[in-house]
Structure 1
Amino acid sequence: MSEGRQMSDPILSVRQAVKTYGRFRALDAVDLDIRKGEFLTLLGPSGSGKTTLLSAIAGFTALDSGAVHARGADISRLPPEKRDFAMVFQGYALFPTMTVAENVGYPLRVRRWAKPALQERVRECLDLVQMGQFADRMPTQLSGGQQQRIALARALSFRPDVLLLDEPLSALDKKLRADLQWELKALHERLGVTFVYVTHDQDEALSMSDRIVILKDGAIQQEGQPGELYDWPRTRFVANFLGKSNFIEARMTGREGAHLVAEAAGQKFAVKPTAGVAETGAGCLALRPERIRLGHPGEEPFTGRVRQISYLGERCQVLVDHDVLGEVLVSQPTWHAGVRPEPRMDVSFGWDADACVPLTDA
């Protein structure tokens, strides 16, 4: 995200948002600012509150308490059609009896655009999503990916300041989904519209977002730029939900220079300090699989035995058993790998000083 976007005033703000369904607390005092022009992703497992939060911003869900502000004005009581946000749904929601052009032009007809301007804007939007040649087709004559492009063109037709997207790619196959991720990101950069995107797909969130907000049980667990969240998770949940992590129970024995010293399984190693983590005492460390080196016995500090190997093309995941640490997942490139592991093979493993991240919920 550019510096200008980071420093601008929020275009949307959510303050102390609470929503309950019986005893289930879907939103638990959520506070969130959304900057103009950013691509913000709400990420979390099923039931985390991400779709409820998006629906509250859109106006489809009324909050029990709290407020939604747009450009400083409280819009909590405004109906969806008065908020002037656009929304793209998982199920496309195209009108089956209208042509592609009629679907895209519908929001403009509702806003009483003059016919020549409407037709010109429909052409612009269809060209924007590379669907101009399909203007006269019916939605049932289109593939899932094509229908989603039309839904996107319709949402952008009236030039909204904010585009809300509720898992718009989840119904598509893996390759098409990956292609549309690139297209959506490029479209966002080209138009400068604020995107608020809901997904449960971690890779999707990492690849597309300026900023990610991770939710669990209706509350924000952590938010930040993708690299920040991935490299420095604060809790076990974030470390394990956004990618994969090994968790090492260690004892912090103090500080040496700029690093903390941790001890686990009879080995001492350096750890970069994290705010809120005690410098001495028991703690839990997160260690990403790709930060671990595999070696032949004696080359690295820890020794274990290979239990299982998963070949993933460009990478190989290796599950190693250690007497004290338990299961350790290692991910290494398959091209020119220093060690080519085999099941039941003895290996050593280790990592660099800043590889482990101390967690606050040890």
Structure 2
Amino acid sequence: MTEPILSIRNAVKRYGSLHALDHVDLDVSEGEFLTLLGPSGSGKTTLLSAIAGFVGLATEQITLRSADITRAPLEYREFGMVFQGYALFPPMTVSDNVAFPFMVRKRPAAEIAERTQECLELVQMGGFTDGMPHQLSGGQQQRVALARAISFKPQVLLLDEPLSALDKKLHADLQWEFKSLHSQLGVTFIYVTHDQDEALSMSDRIVILKDGCIQQQRSSGDLHNSPRNSFVADFLGKSNYIDVDVTGRNVDILYCAAKDATFEVQAENVDEIGSKARLALRSERLRIDAPGVELLSATVKGVSYLGERCQVIVEDDGLGDLLISCTTLQTGITPTPGLEISIGWDTNACVVLVPE
């Protein structure tokens, strides 16, 4: 394994009896797009602020390329920062805002001018050099803030919910631009958000925090498909939870029973026959069809149409209510309340959760 560009060890931050960070360890790889994801109060912004040098911790060690920067002032850490509120200087032009990091470093004027224009072109703001921040839209201001953050070629770029103040369409457009810019620059991004879709669409790896502790960290696809516990499963999409008795095993296939329903689950982390387990079953992994086609019989209780997809609530005698997300074109039937149907899923659709 290659040496991480940034390492955090034993990060602890308390506010009275509240643990904002509770002995957090984290390694960040060179060129990685790492997202810190969690609800309000989970510790994600505190962790980012500690990395930046804004927040001192009770106990910690932070290293950058193996050099200890734990007590280094924030101005010596040479990290680029992008904030939710843009933090542009109102009296300064767009070009002067982007050039500011070079000005304080007393770089030659020709170098400043060349690099400033280069960064503005990268964020599609090359034609706004003489504009003032108050003349720009929110999305344009955020582009300028991003150009300023990358202007001095930082080793790590820290982004604190930079898209949360934007409208839905602009939010989606800038997601692609941020991801594209990351690919072009090859700079390490550490990105904070509470938006699950944003994290899933942009990140190489997601770190999910709750109450100051890391719950799980994996690639976007792995996290969505294999959540470790109920909190992660709930935070990344919609899941159905099924409590089962494990009645048998054949290699990596578990035979499960829940009331009158019996079915098979592909899993490896339940050892004892007769043990109880909680399964997470993503709503989009269930299938519905005509009666008798799939494994279990069910009745449609409600349908909600959401454009290209619909959400169907069904009731099964053994499993109770289940949420299914599907397109009616895939099912061959039109789900309506009271309709008798059948439901099913593949053996690898369920995930056995670790107790919290």
Aligning the two structures, in what range does the TM-score lie when normalised by the shorter sequence?
over 0.9
Residue 11 of structure 1, CA deviation: 0.6
Identity among equivalent positions (%) equals: 60
Matched with 1:338 is: 332
Matched with 2:84 is: 90
Corresponding residue to 1:125 among 108, 114, 119: 119
Q: For structure 1, which segment, 325-334 or 235-244, has the greater mean C-alpha deviation from structure 2 after superposition?
A: 325-334
Amino acid corresponding to residue 276 of structure 2 in structure 1: A
Residue 305 of structure 1, CA deviation: 2.1
Matched with 2:108 is: 114
Give yes or no for the alignment of 1:245 onto 2:233: no
Matched with 1:233 is: 227
Amino acid corresponding to residue 37 of structure 2 in structure 1: L
Corresponding residue to 1:315 among 298, 309, 312: 309
Q: In the aligned structure 2, how far is the partner of 1:76 from the partner of 1:181?
A: 31
Matched with 1:149 is: 143
Alignment of 1:137-176 (within 5 A): 137-176=131-170
SS of alignment partner, residue 10 of structure 1: coil
Give yes or no for the alignment of 1:350 onto 2:344: yes
1:124-177 CA-partner distances (Å, limit 9, x unpaired): 000000100011000010001000000000000000010000000001111111
Amino acid corresponding to residue 235 of structure 2 in structure 1: F
Matched with 1:3 is: none
Matched with 1:302 is: 296
Matched with 1:4 is: none
Residue 79 of structure 1, CA deviation: 1.4
Give yes or no for the alignment of 1:261 onto 2:242: no
Q: For structure 1, which segment, 66-75 or 264-273, has the greater mean C-alpha deviation from structure 2 after superposition?
A: 264-273
Matched with 1:81 is: 75
Amino acid corresponding to residue 138 of structure 1 in structure 2: M
Residue 267 of structure 1, CA deviation: 2.6
1:289-334 CA-partner distances (Å, limit 9, x unpaired): 1110101222222222222212122211111123342220001124
Matched with 1:52 is: 46
Do 2:8 and 2:63's aligned partners in 1 also have CA atoms closer than 8 Å? yes
Q: In the aligned structure 2, how far is the partner of 1:72 from the partner of 1:246?
A: 44
Aligned length: 356
1:199-232 CA-partner distances (Å, limit 9, x unpaired): 1111111110000101001000000111111111
Q: For structure 1, which segment, 351-360 or 257-266, has the greater mean C-alpha deviation from structure 2 after superposition?
A: 257-266
Amino acid corresponding to residue 310 of structure 1 in structure 2: S
Do 2:269 and 2:352's aligned partners in 1 also have CA atoms closer than 8 Å? no
Matched with 2:286 is: 292
Give yes or no for the alignment of 1:103 onto 2:97: yes
Q: Which runs of 4+ in 1 moved over 6 A?
A: none
Matched with 2:60 is: 66
Residue 270 of structure 1, CA deviation: 1.8
Q: For structure 1, which segment, 47-56 or 276-285, has the greater mean C-alpha deviation from structure 2 after superposition?
A: 276-285
Do 1:68 and 1:74's aligned partners in 2 also have CA atoms closer than 8 Å? yes
Matched with 1:21 is: 15
SS of alignment partner, residue 95 of structure 2: helix
Alignment of 1:187-206 (within 5 A): 187-206=181-200
Q: In the aligned structure 1, how far is the partner of 2:43 from the partner of 2:270?
A: 26
Q: Per the alignment, do residues 277 and 75 of structure 1 end up closer, same or farther by CA in structure 2, a change over 3 Å counting?
A: farther
Do 1:39 and 1:195's aligned partners in 2 also have CA atoms closer than 8 Å? yes
**Gap regions ≥5 residues in structure 1:** 1-6
Q: In the aligned structure 2, how far is the partner of 1:276 from the partner of 1:161?
A: 43
Amino acid corresponding to residue 43 of structure 1 in structure 2: L
Matched with 1:223 is: 217
Q: In the aligned structure 2, how far is the partner of 1:46 from the partner of 1:279?
A: 40
Do 1:48 and 1:217's aligned partners in 2 also have CA atoms closer than 8 Å? yes
SS of alignment partner, residue 19 of structure 1: strand
Residue 74 of structure 1, CA deviation: 1.7
Amino acid corresponding to residue 142 of structure 1 in structure 2: L
SS of alignment partner, residue 290 of structure 1: helix
**Gap regions ≥5 residues in structure 2:** none
Do 2:14 and 2:58's aligned partners in 1 also have CA atoms closer than 8 Å? yes
What TM-score do the two structures reach when normalised by structure 2?
A: 0.97
Do 2:101 and 2:151's aligned partners in 1 also have CA atoms closer than 8 Å? yes
Amino acid corresponding to residue 120 of structure 2 in structure 1: L
CA RMSD of aligned residues (A): 1.4
Do 2:98 and 2:116's aligned partners in 1 also have CA atoms closer than 8 Å? yes
SS of alignment partner, residue 335 of structure 1: helix
Matched with 1:10 is: 4
